[in-house]
Structure 1
Amino acid sequence: MTMGLFEGSQLLAHWRVSTALERTADELGFLVSGLLRQRGLEEHSIDGVSISSVVPSVMYAVEQMSVTYLKQAPLIVGPGIRTGLGIKYDNPKEAGSDRIANAVAAIEAYGAPVVIVDFGTAMTFTVVNEHRQYVGGVIAPGIKISADALFRRASKLPHIDLQRPPSVIGRNTVTSMQSGLVYGFAGQVDGIIRRIQAELGRSVRVIATGGLADVVSPHSETIEQVDPFLTLNGLRIIWERNRGAR
């Protein structure tokens, strides 16, 4: 779970906490209250809350926390929310709210067309055409999912830190695994991006975001820039666009 604290368009603070499915609204409230107090703020000083979630089981607790502790009915990114983004998915309701937030922020910051690669639990590619329309993308297993599957299925392989090895050719088990994950995903990104560009018939800007973007992006030939706060900025922009309508 990633949280950001904005004043206007300025990101004052950001935090990453584990997504614990059993965590209650009160537990989340105590957590968020403590984080705000670290910044010298009280709960009542928050003017609004914007949420994007692809984990439905935690949404009730997050919504209740927002209402009870922050005194704000949260804006939940989903159907019916003003985004300024045209959605050309076969079923627009299936478009992930995190991908919508990424697309909105990328258009604002980098223009269109653009492709956003999000290195999250799943690795997603979000494609926005020159008309600022979300036309679809790609969903693939994320790096951590792939690494965890490798550890579970091959019992003799150790758990490793996800970092760049000293060379592509690993000299031991750990660096061999690191090479497979880092360079393997960099190659996957480049291969998919080139196919997307061929399908669109043009080159596009490629922006990376997500927790492991910094690990893979330096070894990709197609990623132009890493924007670690793209999703948070997208949530801020969407909240601003809906502020007067709520």
Structure 2
Amino acid sequence: MVLTIDIGNSDIVVGYYANQAWQHVWRVPSRPAQPPAFYQRQLRMWLLEADLPLSSIRRAVISSVVPALTANVREAVGELFALSPVVVGPSVYPYLPVEVVRPQEVGTDLVANAVAALARYNRNCVVVDFGTALTFTTISATGKMLGIAITPGLKTAIRSLFANTAQLPEVPIEMPPSALGTNTVLAIQAGVVMGYESLVRGMIARIRAELNGDCIAVATGGLAQAIPSLHTEFVDVLPSLTLDGIRLIGEYVPAELN
């Protein structure tokens, strides 16, 4: 049984993997760094509610793009389950089947996306991750991370409008019926949601053109299903793809390093 922890800028996502499937996935907002006891209480509560003993956790893997949270979460996991969690980062990349470009710069979640995509498809693939940032991670069939594109995510864009303007409301992420917004909410949805639909289609087309058309696309992230009209661009829409990659990284790392 494996516990994976994906510490992102908006949320901490925790997955419990057993019997070849994700049995439980929990999510809590990322907050300013809390002491290890805080994360221990949260993990205990989730496992208790799922009727899972602490002893069921045999391996834990942590990916974090928020350095301020990493150490305390790592300490909490180590003490609670009496094990040393794998922490995704440059020190473990030599054990992966993926060649990581600029390992000190690339986000560990994007490395996890590349690892999962290579294992699942074994061909040129772009992973479109709909999170706090909207990212495009392209990996070759031979396991090389070819490059990454990053833009603000859907929620980030809408919240930026809401925070920096006096009269614009925060609106739900929904596809409007028309590009001609007839009120403020519909106008923002037309500009942002339809705009992002075109952005994603355009970026996938550009990436495919640079790879002579030989590239599939897969979607992941918390908002992967937010724009249903995009689903025809993807071979799969897999919100758990990042967790899959984090779990696989834990399997690639030698046991003596755990």
* TM-score over 0.5 (shorter chain): yes
TM-score normalised according to structure 1 size? 0.93
CA distance in 2, matches of 1:218, 1:13: 28
For residues 52-201 of structure 1, what are the structure 2 equivalents within 5 Å?
Answer: 52-81=63-92, 82-87=95-100, 89=101, 91-201=102-212
CA distance in 1, matches of 2:234, 2:192: 17
1:41 is paired with a residue whose SS is coil
CA distance in 1, matches of 2:24, 2:142: 33
- Number of the residue aligned with 1:19: 30
- Number of the residue aligned with 1:34: 45
CA distance in 2, matches of 1:186, 1:69: 43
Gaps of 5+ in 2: 1-11
1:17 is paired with a residue whose SS is strand
CA distance in 1, matches of 2:136, 2:201: 11
* C-alpha RMSD over aligned residues: 1.6
**Pair 1:140–1:177, CA change in 2 (3 A):** same
- Number of the residue aligned with 2:17: 6
Residue correspondences, number? 244
2:214 aligned to which of 166, 180, 203: 203
Q: Tell me if structure 2 keeps the 8 A contact 1:113–1:205.
A: yes
Q: For residue 99 of structure 2, what is the amino acid of its counterpart? A: G
Q: For residue 215 of structure 1, what is the amino acid of its counterpart? A: A
Q: Does 1:224 align with 2:235?
A: yes
Q: Tell me if structure 2 keeps the 8 A contact 1:217–1:223.
A: no
Q: Tell me if structure 1 keeps the 8 A contact 2:201–2:230.
A: no
Shift of 1:141: 1.1
- Number of the residue aligned with 1:238: 249
TM-score normalised according to structure 2 size? 0.89
Deviations 1:138-193 (A, max 9, x none): 01111111111111222101111112223332221111211222111111111111
Which deviates more, 173-182 or 28-37?
A: 173-182
Gaps of 5+ in 1: none
Q: For residue 98 of structure 2, what is the amino acid of its counterpart? A: L
Q: Tell me if structure 2 keeps the 8 A contact 1:51–1:74.
A: yes
